[in-house]
Amino acid sequence: MAAIIQLYRKILCLLNCGAPIADLLVRLWIANVFWKSGLTKIANIDTTMYLFEYEYAVPIVPFELAAYMAIFAELVFPVLLVLGLATRATAGALFIFNAMAVISYPTLNPVGIIQHQVWGIMLLIPLFHGAGAISLDHFINKRFPK
């Protein structure tokens, strides 16, 4: 029994050593999704404006403002995620942004809904877990302890 417990502890130690890399990979993966979307919006700004005016049912704000807010979110927040800076707030903002995208696009097909669900679940990792050891958040917390 002691040998099994010792083996289990060694496996846990190895897994714990890989956690910072896994945290970084999750942040990079999520950032890539939103970054590419932001670049697409900028590259086709006329199409973006058309979609926000006629396709997406973004509530309250004018479609132009909604389009520019989306571009901002998709180009700034991914950078913060990669850096691991203000990670929980950034992941929370992108989670809400992602949910709004689903709500405001009523004709989203089932594959698109699944994609947004995956992105939402992936955003929950940095939202609840934080950025991990390979991040500016970690560096700042170590450099300026409470």
CA 113 to chain CA centroid, Å, is 16
Q: What is the pLDDT of residue 105?
A: 84
> Cβ of 95: how many Cβ atoms within 10 Å?
18
Q: What is the pLDDT of residue 107?
A: 82
pLDDT along the chain (146 residues), means of 10: 92 92 98 98 96 88 95 98 98 96 86 96 97 97 91
Please indicate, yes or no, whether the overall pTM of this predicted structure exceeds 0.85.
Answer: yes
DSSP labels, 6-65: HHHHHHHHHHHHHHHHHHHHHHHHHHHHHHHHHHHHHHTHHHHHHIIIII----SS-HHH
- Residue 55 CB contacts under 8 Å (≥ 6 apart), including other chains: 105, 107
Q: What is the pLDDT of residue 133?
A: 96
Q: What is the pLDDT of residue 146?
A: 80
